[in-house]
Amino acid sequence: MTARLRTAAAGVSLAAITLFATSCSSPTVGKPGAGDSPSSSANSGGQTSLPHDGAPKVPNPVDISKFKAQPCTTLTANQLQTLGVQGQAKPDPQSSTGSQCTWGGGVEATRVNIVFVPNSGGLSDLYKLNKQKGHFYRFEPQDPVNGFPAVLENLDKNQLSNGICAYDIGMNDRDAVTVLLQEQPGGNPCDDVKQVALSATKTMKNGGS
């Protein structure tokens, strides 16, 4: 009887250790996912399936792993010319805040920053963050951009008046891309950032052309 109890207690301890190890081995920061398998979505704050927290499912997901590795290929030279974005592209694929590329910048030039969100829950993670009171100043789902679900995002009330606006786009259920635009105050940065988002999603949809 005692031996059986001991065995049962050991079993319970082992289960507890296993559970603890599972809960502590799923950090999401800086661990971008490459594929689209639902099994790995346990990284997304303990959620079991994607999408969650009201995020839309990406109807036609694309694999963006090669763009994550080379973030500056998300906008082509022609697109940059059309958008009027000047200046050298600055890639930063190892950034702790997510693989990213920046174009332009300065007092008079428009600056574009494209970031691959460093979570593995895609738009679902951003929808989850939005449920925290006051996290985003503005978080408004938009019409799909080239078929990809999109959200207009302002982190605080100062952004718009300072010529700053961002779009979050779900490229697949696990990967979201943020397009952040900074321009001279007085324009309409949210309209402009949508144009950049259209270009970037077109490139990724077409596989880089």
Partner 1 sequence: MTAQDGHRLGGADPKPQAQQAPPGQPPGGAPLPHASGKKLYVDPAEAGQALAYLDQAVSKLQESYDHSSALDHIQKPGNENPSDGFAKVASDVGKQKRAEILQDINGLRAMYQELKATLDNHHETEHANADNLRRMQR
What residue ranges bind partner 1 (CB under 8 A)?
23-24, 26-29, 44-46, 95, 97-98, 100, 102, 105-108, 111, 113, 115, 117-119, 121, 125-126, 128-129, 135-136, 155-156, 158, 162, 164, 166, 178, 180, 182, 184
Query: Which of 60, 161 has the CB closer to partner 1?
Result: 161
Query: What is the torsional sign of CA 122, 53, 128, 103?
Result: positive
CB of 34 to partner 1, least distance (A): 17
**Residue 5 structure tokens:** 């109890």
Whether residue 36 contacts residue 172, with contact meaning beta carbons closer than 8 Å, is answered with yes
**CB of 120 or CB of 201, closer to partner 1:** 120
Q: Which is nearer to partner 1, 1 or 24 (CB)?
A: 24
| Shortest spacing between CB 30 and partner 1, in angstroms | 9
* Closest listed residue to residue 58, CA positions, set 131, 146, 118, 138: 146
Q: Which residues contact 133 (CB under 8 A, 6 or more apart)?
A: none
Tell me how far, at minimum, the Cβ of 116 lies from partner 1, in Å. 10
36/168 with CB nearer partner 1: 168
How far apart are CB 2 and partner 1 at their closest, in Å? 35
The answer to whether the Cα torsion of 49, 64, 116, 82 is positive or negative is: negative
Report the nearest approach of partner 1 to the CB of residue 206 (Å): 26
Using CA atoms, how far apart are residues 52 and 38, in angstroms rounded to an integer? 12
Q: Which amino acid is at 89?
A: A
CB 178 within 8 A of CB 114: yes
* Smaller CB separation from partner 1, 45 or 61: 45
**Both tokens assigned to 101:** 């590329």
Q: Nearest distance from residue 6's CB to partner 1, in Å?
A: 30
Of 99 and 201, which has the nearer Cβ to partner 1?
Answer: 99
Cβ proximity of 110 and 186 under 8 Å: no
